[in-house]
């Protein structure tokens, strides 16, 4: 399905903001989010693995796919959290993590999300919050590949309160 064929989604959003562990946790804490799952999107191979994605050779980004109740939570609120939790001005880098798999990216699932993401970037640029331009990509969602089970709720499973995102 292409972005032009998308009309409306039923509460799904996908974001890449660096390492997915902390991103997943932050989205999971937001009221109205029913699920947040770590995974991969935007690459060239089928069934990517963490090792392959980390090599930088698959083209995938580490992402979090968020399921939410649109009656309780606006997509724009998810965008606000997304832009608040990482630096959208660094190309292929978040903190100590370097590589295209850590790029800042919004994978949109319908035309409304596409428009909202573009508008959020314009507003962020106008705000003057960052001295550098926002480099966040806005790309039509494609296949979401769930990350290996040990990545799901990683911080919670390992007794870690947070990670640098």
Provide the CA 64 distance to its chain's centre, in angstroms. Answer: 5
SS3 percent helix, strand, coil of the chain, rounded to 5, is: 35, 25, 45
**b/e per residue, 16-43, with b = 16+ CB within 10 A?**
bbbbbbbbbbbbbeeeebeebbbbbbbb
Q: Which of 12, 19, 85, 116 is catalytic?
A: 19
How far, CA to CA in Å, does 11 sit from each of 4, 33, 91, 94, 162?
Answer: 18, 9, 28, 27, 26
- 54 an active-site residue? no
* Residues taking part in catalysis: 19
């Amino acid at each position: 399905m292409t972005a032009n064929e998308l009309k409306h989604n039923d509460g799904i959003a996908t974001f890449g903001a660096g390492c997915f562990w902390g991103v997943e946790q932050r989205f999971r804490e937001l009221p109205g989010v029913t699920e947040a799952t770590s995974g991969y999107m935007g690459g060239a191979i089928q069934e990517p693995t963490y090792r392959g994605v980390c090599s930088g050779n698959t083209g995938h980004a580490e992402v979090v796919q968020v399921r939410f109740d649109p009656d309780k939570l606006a997509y724009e609120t998810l965008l606000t959290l997304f832009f608040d939790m990482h630096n959208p001005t660094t190309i292929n880098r978040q903190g100590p993590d370097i590589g295209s798999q850590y790029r800042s990216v919004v994978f949109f699932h319908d035309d409304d999300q596409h428009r909202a993401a573009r508008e959020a970037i314009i507003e962020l640029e106008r705000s003057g919050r960052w001295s550098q331009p926002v480099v966040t990509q806005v790309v039509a969602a494609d296949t979401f590949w769930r990350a290996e089970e040990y990545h799901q709720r990683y911080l919670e499973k390992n007794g870690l309160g947070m990670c640098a995102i």
